[in-house]
Chain A
């Protein structure tokens, strides 16, 4: 029994947001150009934000939500040793959202007294006759936002499934010292008193993490003064503050959300 728990914990660790953080960073968040416009989205997994020193992010299946709200598929990524990258053309003015969403089912089972784990294949990997089947579903979502010339809101509409941040303040109009509001939803419903974090990049040059820990109010909305200019990694998990680590039973379904947001000087 103890073995199963450890296996589950390890399976959870592989997808948990702590220590190794998955991130996407666009080359620019606001592109002012009348010419052919491209943005490159870098994706990596690393401990320090936004250090390129560990492994590339799996960026297959990157969705592009266009200014008019329609969704298209990003081209296949180029995958390097340390980072992946995707070039995306922005044909029209307005705000684009880039979303990487995935649902993974992992777990373990017992067969002939032996504990085995299953991965991306999900429960279909479980052979007949297996007992003690345990599964953990992780629902992940990552966003970043890029505007060509003029901001728009067609791409910012909530999806209504999983854990998501709804930018009440426009994500490409964030300026240090100004007020901003974000809303968090789980399956389309507001999350009251829900904690989330914003961490600025460049910790290694600074020493201090400068993590900003925030929470939504009773209506599921957080209003706050934007911190110093930087590229920020916003992250949240549901259930919030769930205990993690070896020996801790994981909830059957977990949600994680992250977004890369740029806060500019005034």
Chain B
């Protein structure tokens, strides 16, 4: 009885630890000294070694604009758009979200919900792309190996539209 209980408790924990780890992305949207500022549109995805999109995690845009007006400019996230967005139907449940203010932002993604648990083992990159109306566009890539052994932490930084970006898996 005691043994059964231990097994029953342990098994789900083991599987969730190895397969359905949560990915946390922390990114900095710099405060910019510019004549015209709008909060940037941001896309976050997992990229395979061949630079194709394995899973889109987040697309942040003006989701509240009437008549889906905000979707019109999602194509300004050029890299995400030509690799995945063009063929996607917006809004994407659990992926579409509101733009974020300047400062440090943190988003967490459940491994099972975003298909991370089904990724074949290998080298990947977390890509974050920011595009700002009347501004620039920048991409930051954070390399990581999957599945993450133990705790994973990696970081990179942008120059203008993006500041420091770090990822953690646990």
Contacts and interface: CB of A to CB of B under 8 A. Distances in A.
A266 B79 contact: yes
Contacts of A264: 78
Interface in B118-170: 137, 139
Interface string A20-63: 00000000000010000000000000000000000000000000
A5 to B, nearest CB: 53
A160 interface: no
Nearest to B83: A266
A266 B75 contact: no
A32 B78 contact: no
A251 interface: no
Q: How large is the interface on A (under 10, 10 to 19, 20 to 34, 35 or more residues)?
A: under 10
Interface in A236-266: 264-266
Nearest to A30: B82
A32 B86 CA distance: 10
A32 B79 contact: no
Contacts of B78: 264-266
A173 B86 CA distance: 14
Interface string A54-78: 0000000000000000000000000
A32 B75 contact: yes
A111 to B, nearest CB: 62
A265 B161 CA distance: 16
Q: How large is the interface on B (under 10, 10 to 19, 20 to 34, 35 or more residues)?
A: under 10
Contacts of B75: 32
A173 B139 CA distance: 19
A266 B125 CA distance: 15
A32 B137 CA distance: 18
A173 B79 CA distance: 12
Interface in B67-91: 75, 78-79, 82
B114 to A, nearest CB: 23
Contacts of A266: 78-79, 139
Nearest to A151: B82
A229 to B, nearest CB: 11
Contacts of B139: 266
Contacts of A265: 78, 137
A264 B75 CA distance: 14
Contacts of B82: 173
Contacts of B137: 265
A173 B75 CA distance: 15
Interface string B45-84: 0000000000000000000000000000001001100100
A266 B78 CA distance: 8
Nearest to A178: B51
A181 B74 CA distance: 30
A266 B140 CA distance: 12
A266 B139 CA distance: 9
A32 B77 CA distance: 13
Nearest to A265: B78
B85 to A, nearest CB: 11
A107 B89 CA distance: 61
A261 B49 CA distance: 28
A4 to B, nearest CB: 56
A243 B41 CA distance: 54
Interface of A: 32, 173, 264-266
Given A173-B82, A265-B137, A266-B139, 5 more contacts: A32-B75, A264-B78, A265-B78, A266-B78, A266-B79
8 contacts: A32-B75, A173-B82, A264-B78, A265-B78, A265-B137, A266-B78, A266-B79, A266-B139
Closest 6 CB pairs of A and B: A266-B79, A32-B75, A266-B139, A265-B78, A264-B78, A265-B137
